[in-house]
């Protein structure tokens, strides 16, 4: 295990099982609908790759890069779109996916922006949810795991761009960012 990981919060097995369940739920809900999955890079890449492969329906995938974080562990409160989707989402059923919902600022800002483009529907999926940290009442429609208020890395989640490739999600030892 990586020496900067204090403890493993979610094992590779637990993540895989939960992602399969989410995929099955989405498969049932979106039968016969014109679906676009929008993934927020970079962190979501690992999750969305597994999630979409667990969805047994035709769908398209788009990526966005939105950042509210610097290299620290706290939100800056502002969301910048650095890369936008490349196709129209008008009339489509959009599923917005992120690795983790924390303050809720990212999901709220991106959801509002996407709604202006008149999708047929918009729902949100987050693999992890730090419910206690919410500042705006934002709720994801689908949540993989509710987790405690600790800084986590792995399975796409980073600290200053490191640790994304860990196959599990672990709590980063504060000494790693002291």
CA distance 76 to 69: 6
Parallel, antiparallel, or unpaired for β 121-129 and 93-101?
parallel
Nearer to ligand IMP, 30 or 158 (CB): 158
Edge-to-edge strand ranges of the sheet holding 5-10: 5-10, 169-172, 152-153
Binding of residue 43 to Mg ion (CB under 5 A): yes
Q: Which of positions 139-158 make contact with Mg ion (CB under 5 A)?
A: none
Binding of residue 104 to Mg ion (CB under 5 A): no
Residues that bind ligand IMP (CB under 6 A): 40, 43, 68-69, 75, 98-106, 151-153, 157-158
CA 173 to chain CA centroid, nearest Å? 22
The residues that bridge with 37 in the sheet, in sequence order, are: 61, 95
Length of the chain: 178
**Could you say which of Mg ion, ligand IMP, none residue 68 binds, taking C-beta under 5 to 8 angstroms by partner kind?**
ligand IMP
* Shortest separation between residue 28's beta carbon and ligand IMP, angstroms: 26
Residues that bind Mg ion (CB under 5 A): 43
Catalytically active residues, by annotation: 102
């Amino acid at each position: 295990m990586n020496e900067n990981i204090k403890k493993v919060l979610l094992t590779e097995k637990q993540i895989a099982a939960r992602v399969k369940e989410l995929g099955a739920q989405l498969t049932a809900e979106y039968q016969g609908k014109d679906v676009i999955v929008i993934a927020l890079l970079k962190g979501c890449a690992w999750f969305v790759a597994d999630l979409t492969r667990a969805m047994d329906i035709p769908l398209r995938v788009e990526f966005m890069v939105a950042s509210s974080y610097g290299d620290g562990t706290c939100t800056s409160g502002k969301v910048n779109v650095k890369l936008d989707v490349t196709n129209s989402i008008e009339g489509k059923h959009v599923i917005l996916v992120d690795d983790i919902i924390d303050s809720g600022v990212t999901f709220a800002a991106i959801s509002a922006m996407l709604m202006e483009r008149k999708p047929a529907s918009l729902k949100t999926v987050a693999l992890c949810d730090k419910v206690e940290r919410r500042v705006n009442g934002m709720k994801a429609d689908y949540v993989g795991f509710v987790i405690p208020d600790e800084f986590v890395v792995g399975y796409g989640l980073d600290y200053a761009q490191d640790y994304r490739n860990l196959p599990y999600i672990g709590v980063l030892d504060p000494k790693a960012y002291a």
